[in-house]
């Protein structure tokens, strides 16, 4: 360890810790887990300090690391990191004193907030993440491409698709529960699922069937 490294890390930590905690809170079901995600993310940063890019890109790189830490956390056993103990306790205290909802004017409409949250949760993960990065982290397309490790063109396609699906979901919700349930596949702009034809054991997909002579089932 060198003093320079510690100073560099500390400056980066000071600049980013609240944004990182917000990023983690937006993606964890249990707020206490967000503290562990923050701690594990910064541990990666500390170990890979030489890889942290300069300037504004550093925050994007940080989100990319946090995204992978989150992906691991959702797949494996939930771990409690002792380094995060105090942040976790303080976070719990802060939550206890927070209003149930409504930090912004629009949030006063509790029904609308619930609908959009539900609609987003129904979307594929790739759609959800690109929407979150736009709406909550307020990132541009280039920045999102850096976080996700994909091209700007891919971000453009994903964002277009995600916005359309979210809009359709919200419209379906507004049109009523029956319409939402009955037209979910169409509402999200997806190809309807495979339909069985008359032959036993044959699945005909929306586009690609099995090669001639091959039947696939179950």
Partner 1 sequence: MTHDPLAALRAADPARRLRLDSIDPGAWEALRRGIVMSERPEERPAGQPAERPAAQTAGRPARRRRRLLWGGIVGAGVVGVVATAATVSGLPGFVGGQADGPNCLTAWGEPAEASGAWLTGDAIADCDTIRAAAGLPPIEDPAVFSFSGFTYVVPRSEVPPVVEILASSRVMTPGSLELEMSLGDWVDGGVTDECRSQDETVAWVEGEFDRLGLDDWSIETRGPGPESTDCTRAFVMERGRVMVAFRDGPAPAEAPGGVSPELSAAASSAAASSAASGGPGAGEPDPMDEVHRIIAALRNGIVDECVSLPEARAIADEALSGLEYEPTPTTSIVDESVDCARVDMRVGGNVQVTVYGPSAVG
Site for partner 1 contains 178 (CB under 8 A): no
Among 47, 55, 77, 198, binds partner 1 (CB under 8 A): 47
Distance, CA of 67 to CA of 87 (rounded, Å): 20
By CB under 8 A, residue 80 contacts partner 1? no
Question: Could you give the CA distance from residue 114 to residue 170 in angstroms, rounded to a whole number?
Answer: 11
Nearer to partner 1, 58 or 154 (CB): 154
x/- map, 95-134, partner 1, by CB under 8 A: x-xxxxxxxxxxx-x--xx-xxx-xx---xxx--x-xx-x
Ranges within 182-201 binding partner 1 (CB under 8 A): 185, 190-194, 200-201
Per-position b or e across 182-215, b if 16+ CB within 10 A of its CB? eeeeebbeeeeeeeeeeeeebbeeeeeeeeeeee
Query: Does 38 interact with partner 1 (rule: CB under 8 A)?
Result: yes
Q: Rule CB under 8 A: say whether 63 interacts with partner 1.
A: no
217 in contact with partner 1 (CB under 8 A): yes
Intra-chain end-to-end CA distance of the chain, in Å:
57
Q: Which stretch binds partner 1 (CB under 8 A): 52-60, 79-87, 176-184?
A: 79-87
d(C-alpha 161, C-alpha 168), whole Å: 11
Euclidean distance between CA atoms 44 and 66, whole angstroms = 9
Tell me how far, at minimum, the Cβ of 206 lies from partner 1, in Å: 5
């Amino acid at each position: 360890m060198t003093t320079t490294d510690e100073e560099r890390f500390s400056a980066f930590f000071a600049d980013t810790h609240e944004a990182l905690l917000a990023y983690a809170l937006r993606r964890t079901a249990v707020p206490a887990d967000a503290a562990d995600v923050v701690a594990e993310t910064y541990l990666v940063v500390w170990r890979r300090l030489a890889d942290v890019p300069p300037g504004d890109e550093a925050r994007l790189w940080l989100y990319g690391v946090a995204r992978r830490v989150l992906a691991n956390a959702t797949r494996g056993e939930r771990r409690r990191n002792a380094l995060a103990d105090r942040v976790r306790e303080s976070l719990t205290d802060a939550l206890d004193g927070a209003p149930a909802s409504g930090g912004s004017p629009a949030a006063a409409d509790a029904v609308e907030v619930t609908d959009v949250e539900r609609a987003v949760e129904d979307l594929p993960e790739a759609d959800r993440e690109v929407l979150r990065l736009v709406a909550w982290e307020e990132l541009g397309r280039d920045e999102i491409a850096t976080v996700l490790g994909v091209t700007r063109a891919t971000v453009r396609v994903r964002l277009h698709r995600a916005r359309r699906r979210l809009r359709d979901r919200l419209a379906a919700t507004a049109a009523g529960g029956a319409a939402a349930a009955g037209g979910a596949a169409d509402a999200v702009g997806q190809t309807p699922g495979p339909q069985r034809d008359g032959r036993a054991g044959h699945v005909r997909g929306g586009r690609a069937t099995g090669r001639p002579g091959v039947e696939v089932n179950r």
